[in-house]
Each structure stands twice: as structure tokens, then as C-alpha cells.
Amino acid sequence: MSAYYQLAKKIIQSNFFRLSLPYRLSFILTYKCNYKCKICNIWARGPGEAEMTLPEIEEFFLKNNYISWLNLGGGEIFLREDINEVADIIYTKLDNLVLLDFATTGFFTDRVLSFVERLGRYKPKKLFITVSLDGPKETHEWLRGIPGSWDKAIETFRGLRSMASASFKPYLGYTLSKYNFDKFFDTVKAVKKAVPDIGLDEFHINLAQVSELYYQNEACLDASWAFKEKDRISALLGSFLGQKRKAGNITLFLESVYQSRLKQFLNTAKTPLHCRALSASCFIDPAWNVYPCVSYNKVIANLKELGFDLRPVWQLAACRQLQKEILKSSCPNCWTPCEAYQTILGNLARIFTNSLESVGFL
């Protein structure tokens, strides 16, 4: 059975029941970061925190080779000296891997480009890389706390763009916060000067989220800002969605649903679809703790203590119970692309029905 077929099957099944194993992992390689962002405190926690080792990573993927979609997270993953070896492990152990994705600041241009070149030997089926860019130069560098970071991000993005193919796509990721939500189109204009033929399809917009577990940003990101600014954010999203393609490939579909449901989230403060955390996906931190997702600070187990096998953890009574509660929205409720895409894919029937209702068919 091909890896694509297996993934499609798992996605369809996730619309009807909890999977016997997750198909997607958020896998956080490090909390180290060389940036000092205003909306995230990972940079402050990184140096003192435990970090998974290469032999541990190898053992984990050897025992959990059923994963179809792997999201690598940081910190900045290119601060790991062994990032190339991590990739070698991933592509030699995960026979069923379809999609690898991760975000980077783009600061280490050479490392990022040579990493992608190295991945070429494994012929990744799908590889998506997001270079974070949070404003025109001045705003971005103020928000990110690093002079020169805008030019670095653009240089890396241009380099990646020159390597793009049917299986590899780079994007610019714009995280909306109270500091920059009114500067998105100024950013597009500024980027166009450096990359004249860039299209809006090459931008991803997401909403800054508060996470006690991951970003530890409760003190620096007022959780209520987005709800106070919901009308202006909705207007921005409306304009963005109105100008870009909404269909044509799976990424455009996911983005389009994510952004249109973001308006619903801002109106209700409730996750707009039944969340698939612990049903199709989970989150693993650099110390091997397993959580439902990036936003829910509820440790289920520690994989290092349990021999790096996720299967028994997935079947724990506590894990199953938590999943039931999440399905009923008994959780912090969020709407972040880190978690929303598998939720969208696990709610296809509902999305389809809602679309028919919105055009008066039902």
C-alpha cells in the first residue's frame, strides 16, 4: 500500500473515529532560539532545558515508523548541530512519511539551503518550509529582536524558492499579533521589491496564540487582543482570501478553510471544528513529554521513561479520556495552523455540509 494511500485512508478514518495510532506529530527538536521575539518566550527557556539526543530520536522513529506527517518544531531547528543527521534518521526510518514541514527564522541561510539540498537524496514526497516574516523590515526586526533578520529571511526564502519543485514549496509565514496585524499588505509590498514575482499564495497568515506549555508567552501576549480586534482582522482576512486562489491544491484548501474559520473563532473564542488532537495527532516536546497539542498543558506520559514507544501511550486510559474531553471542547480552545490542519481534514463532511448550506443548497 503506498504511503499516499495510507495517509488518505487515515484522514478519511479520522472523520469517523479515533485512530489506533496518530498519523501526524508535532515533534519539537529544541527550545533553543537565537531570536528574542516580543510574542514568544521560547528563547528564554531554551538554554536550560533538556533536549532529545540523536540515539533517542533514532530509537523513537524506529519504534514509531507509522507516522505519515511530521512537523518539526523549535526554537530554531537549525541551531541543532546534528540537524542533517536528524533528517537522515527521519528519511531512513519513516517508510510511510508523506509530508515533512517546519518553520525557520531563515537566519542560517547556508544551513537551511544545504539541508534542503541534502534532503533531495531522499526524494521527499512533500516538503513545506515556512520562513517567518512578521512585517516590513523595521517592524519585523523590532518584533524579532534581531537587526538584519529581515534580509536574512528574504535571502533564505529566495534561495529556497529557487529550489522549489512539485514536491517542495517554501512559504513566508506571517504571524498576526497586536503589533503587526495592520501591516500585512505593507509587508507584501516590501517583499515584492525583493521578490518581484511573488504571489499571495506564497504567504501564510496565522494568528499568534498564547501557550503556557510551548511559547510560555502568557505575560508578553495579551490573549484578548485578537478578540478586541476581530473586525479589523476579519477585514484583513477577507481581503487576503479575496485576492488569492482558494483551491487548486491541498495546501490552498487547508489555508482557505483555516482562515475562513478563523473569523468564527474570533467571534466565539471556541475552536470552530471538532479538534482531532489525540485522535489523529499529538505533540512531543524536547524532553519527550507527550501532550495533546501545542496549546494544552496536560502531560500524558514521558516517552523516555517508557522506552520511546508511543503505541502504549496512545492507548492509556488517561489519553483516551482526554481525547473525549477535547472532542467536547473541554480544553483551552485554540485555532492555530499547528493543530488546525488535521482538524480540518478530520471534519471534511461537516465543512462540505456547511459550504452547501452557505450557498443555499441545504
Binding site for ligand SF4 (CB under 6 A): 33, 35, 37, 40, 42-43, 74-76, 105, 271, 275, 277, 292-293, 295-296, 326, 331-334, 339
Beta carbon nearer to ligand SF4, 42 or 87 = 42
Beta carbon nearer to ligand SF4, 188 or 277 = 277
Beta carbon nearer to ligand SF4, 52 or 94 = 52
Beta carbon nearer to ligand SF4, 160 or 300 = 300
Helix (H) or strand (E) holding 327: helix 317-327
Sign for the CA dihedral angle at 134, 202, 341, 104 comes to negative
How far lies 244's CA from each of 68, 128, 306, in Å? 28, 19, 46
How are beta strands 281-284 and 24-28 bridged, if at all?
Answer: parallel
Backbone region of residue 207 per phi and psi (left: phi > 0; alpha: psi in -120 to 50; beta: other values): beta
Q: Could you tell me the smallest distance in angstroms from the CB atom of residue 355 to ligand SF4? A: 22
Q: Could you tell me the smallest distance in angstroms from the CB atom of residue 94 to ligand SF4? A: 23
Q: What is the DSSP string of 209-245?
A: ---TTTT--TTTS-TTHHHHTHHHHHHHHHHHHHHS-
Least Cα distance to 175 among 107, 214, 221 occurs for 221
Q: Could you tell me the smallest distance in angstroms from the CB atom of residue 292 to ligand SF4? A: 5
Q: Could you tell me the smallest distance in angstroms from the CB atom of residue 58 to ligand SF4? A: 25
Q: Could you tell me the smallest distance in angstroms from the CB atom of residue 6 to ligand SF4? A: 24
Q: Could you tell me the smallest distance in angstroms from the CB atom of residue 267 to ligand SF4? A: 16
Beta carbon nearer to ligand SF4, 96 or 149 = 149
- Measured CA to CA, the distance from residue 52 to residue 25 in angstroms comes to 15
Q: Could you tell me the smallest distance in angstroms from the CB atom of residue 222 to ligand SF4? A: 16
Beta carbon nearer to ligand SF4, 94 or 294 = 294
SS3 290: strand
- Measured CA to CA, the distance from residue 174 to residue 186 in angstroms comes to 12
Beta carbon nearer to ligand SF4, 303 or 331 = 331
Q: DSSP assignment, residue 108? A: -
